[in-house]
Amino acid sequence: MDMQMPVMDGWTAVPILRADPRTQSLPIIALTAQVKPEDKQRIKEIGCTEHMPKPMVPDDLVALVKRYLAVPSH
């Protein structure tokens, strides 16, 4: 979830996803340039499962997604 998007950002979208029984248990990875401790705390408080700073390292993101999908690492 990109936390700063036009129209509807992650700060708005994540609580909506968490309020819906169909999506409330999905893992949500916050992708953001906001890396201060208070930003990370706020991201967790609104319901994100993980925080990944931008610019992100593609291999790190793939590893994180695999972890939540229970895909074995090679």
In a 13 Å sphere around the CA of 1, the CA atoms on its Cβ side amount to 25
In a domain, 26, yes or no: yes
Q: Which residue has the higher pLDDT, 35 or 74?
A: 35
Give the total number of structural domains in the chain.
1
Residue 19 sits in a domain whose CATH number is 3.40.50.2300
Q: Which amino acid is at 26?
A: L
In a domain, 74, yes or no: no
DSSP β-bridge partners for residue 29: 50
pLDDT of residue 72: 65
Can you give the pTM of this predicted structure? 0.84
In a domain, 5, yes or no: no
pLDDT of residue 71: 66
CA distance 50 to 3: 12
pLDDT of residue 48: 97
Quick: pLDDT tens for 1-47.
999 888 999 999 999 999 999 999 999 999 999 899 999 999 999 99
In a domain, 4, yes or no: no
Measure Cα distances from 66 to 27, 60, 72, 74 in Å. 11, 10, 7, 11
pLDDT of residue 70: 80
**Cα dihedral value 5, 13, 47, 62, nearest 10:** -50
In a domain, 3, yes or no: no
